[in-house]
Amino acid sequence: MTDGRADVLVVDDDDAVRSAVVRTLTKAGFEALGAANAEAALGLLAAGERTFDLMITDLLMPGTSGVQLMRSVRESELDLPVIVLTGHPSFDSAVLALEYGGFRYLEKTVDGATLVNAVNEVLALHRPAALRKRALLQYDAELAAQSERSGLSSQFDRALSRMWIAFQPIVSWPGQSIFGYEALVRSSETGLNTPDLLIEAAERLGRVQELGILVREKIARNWACAPPEALLFVNLHALDLTAEDLFSPDAALSAYASRVVLEVTERASLHKIVDLRARLTELRRLAFRIAVDDLGAGYAGLASFSQLEPEIVKFDMSLIRGIDKSPRKASIVRSMVAMCTQELGTTVVCEGVETEGERDKLSEVGAELLQGYLFAEPGPGFRGRSIFARPLVSVAPDPATRADETGT
């Protein structure tokens, strides 16, 4: 550590990438030093002239690979957190990175702000208590500064007053039956009409819990009219796990707990949740089930398995899109389905199914529960078996004209 600033070791054989990362981190207030290969990095670590707080490494490098570098660091018992920054992401390499202590797995196309936030989050977990507090305050201050956009608070208030809930069916394709519905928040407020925009505004304003409470109350009022056999999937921001109403037996949603699956949609903040395991135990005591959302989106969901121990996992649409035309995707999804269902006893739902080809390939690789525009768009009310009576479209609407299938 230099002058109270965190020291970051950046390892990449690509001179341009290494220099760009060092510049980004230096501009953000870190002490960053580059190493052109794993051997140079190990030499710096062994010399002990500088005590590094974090290492960022590429995976594919000539000579010693990034995975071998991480293994050597662990074998030398260095307590050094690692962020993997790769231009060739894959499911297998993500698993290896996690196995050898990688705390974040990012693609080289990541923007500078996301990289800096990732560094702050990892350092917040691993630096001494006083420095950890300072890192968290710095991270929160950056978010607070963004929230000072003119008129955001009043616009958010209007969005809440114009908020409504859409439902999208999740189908069991072999039996052509309704398995459940995902509840998706919508608003008629221009500029905050999609889940992502609403959640981003809530985060910037520090009003995530307020948004979650209102959404769950609206969902509960609508759910009273739902088919009695269906499950309800409700998206949950990590910070919602600290909301007292979520754990109250008298809360509106608790009345339907045995039929509710809570999807944790934002996992980056899970480390901030005190007594996470106890909170999950209490939710399950109330009869809620837990799901990990968007597995496969940037490989972010792998680490959350051990934290959340979900009963249900939802595969991200990036794995599903075009699976019938990609043998590699089909092989990955087949393996993931087998691992989840046979080894972990976890139910799998595949999101983003838009064509009959995708539907049929998913059925072939063992995925039975499907969700997507092929069957029905999100909308008010609960569409039942009638969706199987109409001709299923094989091409989804233009993505630019529709709302995303994700959200709180």
pLDDT in tens, the chain (408 residues): 555 578 899 999 999 999 999 999 999 889 999 999 999 999 998 887 788 888 999 988 989 888 889 888 888 756 788 899 888 877 777 777 777 667 788 888 888 888 998 888 888 776 554 455 455 556 665 655 554 555 788 899 999 999 999 999 999 998 889 999 999 999 999 989 888 899 989 988 889 999 999 999 999 998 888 888 899 999 999 889 999 999 999 998 999 999 999 998 766 567 778 888 999 999 999 999 999 887 766 544 566 777 888 999 998 888 899 999 999 999 999 999 998 899 889 999 999 999 999 999 999 999 999 999 999 999 988 877 667 765 554 444 444 444 444 455
Sign of CA dihedral 281, 285, 289, 293: negative
Cα–Cα distances in angstroms (integers) from residue 372 to residues 33, 211, 260, 348, 390, in the given order: 46, 25, 20, 14, 15
> Is residue 43 domain-shared with residue 136, that is, in the same domain?
yes
Based on the fold, state whether residues 186 and 291 are members of the same structural domain: yes
Is residue 120 located within the same domain as residue 225?
no
Three-class secondary structure of residue 52 per DSSP: coil
SS3 156: helix
Six token digits for residue 372 = 């997507």
Whether residues 209 and 135 fall in one domain? no
Contact between residue 384 and residue 395 where contact means Cβ atoms under 8 Å apart? no
| C-alpha of 17 from chain center | 25
Residues 142 and 168 placed together within one structural domain of the fold:
no
CATH of the domain at 139: 3.40.50.2300
Find where tokens 């662990």 sit.
74
- Nearest-angstrom CA–CA distance, 81 and 280: 27
Beta bridge partners of 104: 83
Range of 79's domain? 7-146
In a domain, 151, yes or no: no
Contacts of 59 (CB under 8 A, 6+ apart): 65, 66, 67, 84, 86, 88, 93, 97
Looking at the structure, tell me whether residues 176 and 140 fall in a common domain: no
Q: Are 46 and 72 in contact (CB under 8 A)?
A: no
- Half-sphere exposure at residue 355, Cβ-oriented, CA atoms within 13 angstroms: 10
Helix 129-146 and helix 195-205, axial crossing angle in degrees, nearest 10? 120
C-alpha of 367 from chain center: 21
Residue with tokens 């389905």: 337
Pick the last residue of a domain from 146, 178, 213: 146
Note whether residue 247 is domain-resident.
Answer: yes
Look at residue 265 in the predicted model and tell me its pLDDT. Answer: 78
Domain boundary among 111, 146, 181: 146
pLDDT at site 12 = 95
> How many Å apart are CA 347 and CA 339, to the nearest integer?
11
For residue 163, what is the DSSP state?
E
- Please give the pLDDT value at position 220: 92
Q: What is the pTM of this model?
A: 0.62
Cα 407 to Cα 393: distance, rounded to the nearest angstrom: 24
- Mark 250-273 as b/e (b = at least 16 C-beta within 10 Å): ebbbbebbebbbbbbbbbeebebb
63, amino acid identity: G
Do 87 and 182 belong to one domain?
Answer: no
Residues 11 and 114 in one domain: yes
Q: Which of 119, 146, 173 is the last residue of a domain?
A: 146
Q: 362: part of which helix (H) or strand (E)?
A: helix 356-364
b/e per residue 8-45 (b: at least 16 CB within 10 A): bbbbbbeeebbebbbebbeebebbbbbbebbeebbebb
| Same-domain status, 55 and 192 | no
Whether residue 268 is found in the same domain as residue 175: yes
| Bridge partner list, 184 | 166
Residue 66 maps to a domain: yes
Examine the domain organization and report whether 130 and 186 are in the same domain: no
Give me the helices (H) in 172-302, please: 195-205, 208-223, 276-285
Question: What residues contact 26, with CB distance under 8 A and at least 6 apart?
Answer: 32
Residue 2 located in a structural domain: no
Say if residue 123 is in the same domain as residue 191. no
Domain count, the chain: 2
